Amino acid sequence: MSKLAIFGGKPVRSELFDAYNTIGKEERKAVDEVLKSGVLSGFLGCWHKDFYGGPKVREIEKIWANKINAKHAISVNSNTSGLITAMGAIGVKPGDEVIVSPYSMSASAIAPVIWGGVPIFADISENNFCISPENIEKRITKRTKAILVVHIFGHPAEMDGIMKIADKYNLLVVEDAAQAPFGIYKNKFVGTLGDLGVFSLNIHKHIHTGEGGIITTNDDRLAERCQLIRNHGETVVEDKGVKEIDNIFGFNFRMTEMEAAVGVEQLKKIDYLLTQRINNANYLINNLKNINYLDLCIPESYVKHCYYKQPVKYYSEKNNGLHRDKYLKVLSRELPSAYMKEEETLIGGGYVKPLYLEPIYQKKAINLYKHKKEELNYSKGICPIAEKMHFKELITHEFMRPSMSKSDLDQVIEAFYKIDKNMNEIIGRQDEI
C-alpha cells in the first residue's frame, strides 16, 4: 500500500491546525469600557471638535503615527476606504491614469475608478511579486497621474526605483501596505516612502479590528484632504475655510470607538506577532532549502518582510514536468486545514487571478470618460510574469502564522519531504491525481 495519503496512505497530520486569533482579554476589556461609556462613535459630520472622531480613534491614530514615524495617521473603516480616500486626496479626476499592480486584492486597482480614473496594469517582479519599476515606466503616458504600489505578501516593493520614476515624471505615489504593517525598506517604514500609505485592519491581517484601516502621510495638505473625504467633507469645507474642495464630498469612512479600542490593544502585540512570523518563515526556509524544485524566495537583506503569506516558487521542469497544481493536491492531503478555514488548506497555488482578467476589465465595464475602449488593453498576456506566477509557478501558504508551534512546523516540513521521497510514485501515477 502507498505511503501517500492521496493514494490511501496515512497522512502526516489529520488534526486541524489551531486558528490564528489575536483577540484576548485586553481587547474584551477595552471594548467593555467603550460600551459602558455609551459612545460607540465619536464622529460628527460637521465642523466641530468631534469632526476628527472620539478619544479612542484619536488614540490609535497617534500611536500608529508615532510607531511608523509618520506625521499623520488617519483612521478609516477599511483598507478599501483608505485607498479610495487616498485616490481622492491626491486629486485623481476623470481620465487620469493610475498605474497599478495586477496581482493584489481587487480594491488596489478599483480605487481610482471611483473618481473616474483608469487603472493601467504594470507587470510584477519575479523576485518579490510587487509591481516592477521597469514595467511601470513602460506604462507611463501623458495621462498618468499616480502609481499605486502594493507591498504584496508583506514584502516591500522596490521603492527607490519607483520613487525615482515618480520624481522623473512628476507622479504621486500611494502605497497599499495592507499586507505589510510595519514592514521596512532600507531603514524606513513602508507607508512613509510615498505620498500616502494605506494599511488594513481587516480580520485576516496580522492584527485587526474586524474591519478597519489607517492612512499615513507626512503631508499636511493630504492629511486634511483625507480627513475631509473620510467624513462628509462637503458639509465642512465652508465653516472650516477650506478652499481646495475638488473631490471633497459625501463619504462616511469613519472608524468606530470599539474598533479603535481593539486596535489600540492589538498594536501592543504587533512586534511580537511579526517576529513570530519572520522566525517561522526562516525556520521553514532553512529546513526546506534542499528540495531543488522549490525556491523559498529569500528576501533581500535591506527589507523587513512581514509574511502575510509566505511565497514559494515551484519549478515543474526540475520535477519531471509534474504540474504545480498536482503537486499541491498531493501535499494538501498530507496536511489538514485550520479551524475557521475548514474549506481549504493553508497552502494554495498562486494568489488571485491577475485582476485585468476579471469581467469588469475584460468587458471594460468601468467609467472611461475621456478614454475610448479600444485605447485600453486588458487582454491576456499584458503581464506575463504575473500570469506565469499565478497559473504555473507560485505557491503561497500560511504555515508561518504565529499560531503554529515548532511541532506544527516540523510536521509541515515532514510532509514536504515525504512527498519528495515518494516522487517517483507520484510521477508514475499522476494521471490518478
Please check the confidence at residue 341 and state whether its pLDDT lies above 80: no
Query: For the CA atoms of 283, 309, 184, 68, what is the dihedral angle to 10 degrees?
Result: -120
Entry field: residues in the chain = 433
Which residues make Cβ contacts (< 8 Å) with residue 413, sequence separation at least 6?
284, 287, 288
Confidence of residue 191 (pLDDT cuts 50, 70, 90): very high
> Quick one: what percent of the chain has pLDDT higher than 90?
91
Q: What is the mean pLDDT of residues 73-101?
A: 97
SS3 at position 137: helix
Q: What is the rounded distance in angstroms from the CA atom of residue 100 to the CA atom of residue 212?
A: 22
Which residues make Cβ contacts (< 8 Å) with residue 105, sequence separation at least 6?
178, 352
Confidence of residue 340 (pLDDT cuts 50, 70, 90): low
Residue 337, pLDDT score: 74
Which of 316, 317, 282 has its CA nearest to residue 299? 282
Find where cell 522623473 sits: 168
Query: For the CA atoms of 107, 111, 112, 113, what is the dihedral angle to 10 degrees?
Result: 90
Q: What is the rounded distance in angstroms from the CA atom of residue 414 to the CA atom of residue 425?
A: 17
What nine digits make up the cell of 251?
A: 463619504
Please check the confidence at residue 419 and state whether its pLDDT lies above 70: yes
What nine digits make up the cell of 345?
A: 488548506
CA angle 241, 245, 246 (to 5 degrees): 175
* Cβ neighbours around 414 below 10 Å, total: 15
Q: What is the mean pLDDT of residues 69-75?
A: 98
Q: What is the rounded distance in angstroms from the CA atom of residue 416 to the CA atom of residue 398?
A: 15
Which residues make Cβ contacts (< 8 Å) with residue 136, sequence separation at least 6?
99, 122, 147, 162, 165
- Please tell me which residue, 15 or 36, carries the higher pLDDT value: 36
Q: List pLDDT tens digits, range 369-396.
A: 667 777 889 999 999 999 999 999 999 9
Least confident of 287-296, 335-344, 350-359, 416-425: 335-344
pTM above 0.85, yes or no: yes
**What DSSP letter does each residue of 312-349 carry, written as one string?**
EEE-GGGTTT--HHHHHHHHHHHS-EETTEEEEESEEE
Alpha helix stretches (DSSP H) within 69-132: 79-89, 107-110
What nine digits make up the cell of 365?
A: 465595464
Average model confidence (pLDDT) across the chain: 95
* Residue 185 contacts residue 193 (beta carbons within 8 Å): yes
Residue 78, pLDDT score: 98
Q: List pLDDT tens digits, range 394-404.
A: 999 999 999 89
Domains annotated for the chain, with CATH where assigned, are: 5-9+270-432 (3.90.1150.10), 25-267 (3.40.640.10)
Q: What is the rounded distance in angstroms from the CA atom of residue 249 to the CA atom of residue 241?
A: 15
Please check the confidence at residue 181 and state whether its pLDDT lies above 80: yes
Mean pLDDT comparison of 168-182, 332-346, 371-385, highest-scoring range: 168-182
Q: What is the mean pLDDT of residues 168-176?
A: 98
Residue type, 395: I
Least confident of 41-50, 63-72, 344-353: 344-353
Q: What is the mean pLDDT of residues 243-267?
A: 96
Residue 18, pLDDT score: 87
Confidence of residue 344 (pLDDT cuts 50, 70, 90): low
Confidence of residue 11 (pLDDT cuts 50, 70, 90): very high
Please check the confidence at residue 269 and state whether its pLDDT lies above 70: yes
Q: What is the rounded distance in angstroms from the CA atom of residue 417 to the CA atom of residue 433?
A: 19
Please check the confidence at residue 140 and state whether its pLDDT lies above 60: yes
Please check the confidence at residue 239 and state whether its pLDDT lies above 80: yes
* Residue 139 contacts residue 147 (beta carbons within 8 Å): no
Q: What is the rounded distance in angstroms from the CA atom of residue 2 to the CA atom of residue 285?
A: 28
Please check the confidence at residue 248 and state whether its pLDDT lies above 70: yes
Confidence of residue 366 (pLDDT cuts 50, 70, 90): confident
E strand map for 110-210: 118-121, 144-150, 172-176, 184-185, 188-189, 196-200
Residue 339, pLDDT score: 61
Question: Cβ-count burial of 329 within 10 angstroms (0-12 exposed, 13-18 middle, 19+ buried)?
Answer: middle
Residue 364, pLDDT score: 84
